[in-house]
Structure 1
Amino acid sequence: MPPRLRKLIGTILIIILVLAYAVVATAVASAMLGQSPWYIHLLYFTVTGLLWIVPAMVIIKWMEKPEKPRGE
């Protein structure tokens, strides 16, 4: 796959990932953390705010993979 196409697909996947992750994380917080103390909110949003980086790193690693030579 050409690098430009891989980067386009990866960019679209990251945008979808961030949007879907934000919606799900906010919905879970609204449903589960309504009456929780502030420090639980802080912990939840700190963890969920950093957790999306793991799948994004996998996508970025895939995007930056060098192109295979044609002979292989």
Structure 2
Amino acid sequence: MRMRARKFIGTVITIGFVPFYALIAMALAQARPIQQAAPVVQVVCYAILGLIWVVPLMPLIRWMQKPDA
């Protein structure tokens, strides 16, 4: 598969995944334990929730960047 096709497929998957993940992250951020935690704990939780979307997409990004054969 050519890099152009891989990038298109990866972009479509990313555009579908990020809003889905954002809904999950917002629901988790509104959970009672996080809302009742200390402000420092809340900041750490929000930072983790804001960055963890990269973990499941990293293999996809690597696949998209693979050079053509």
Specify if TM > 0.5: yes
Cα offsets for 1:19-54 (capped at 9, x unmatched): 111110111121332333322221111111121122
Structure with more helix by fraction: 2
Report the Cα distance in structure 2 between the residues aligned to 1:50 and 1:28, rounded to whole angstroms. 14
Secondary structure class of the residue paired with 1:66 = coil
- What is the Cα-based RMSD across aligned positions, in Å? 1.5
Residue 63 (structure 1) shift: 0.3
Which has the higher Rg, Structure 1 or Structure 2?
A: 1
Structure 2, unaligned stretches of length 5 or more?
A: none
Q: 1:29 maps to what in 2?
A: 29
Q: Alignment identity in percent?
A: 40
TM-score (norm 1): 0.76
Count of aligned pairs: 68
Q: Which amino acid aligns with 1:19?
A: P
Query: Under a length normalisation based on structure 2, what TM-score does the superposition of the two structures give?
Result: 0.79
Q: Distance in 1 between matches of 2:62 and 2:10?
A: 10
Task: Give the Cα separation in 2 of the matches to 1:35 and 1:20.
Answer: 25
Which residue number in structure 1 is paired with residue 39 of structure 2?
A: 38
Q: Secondary structure at the match of 1:36?
A: coil
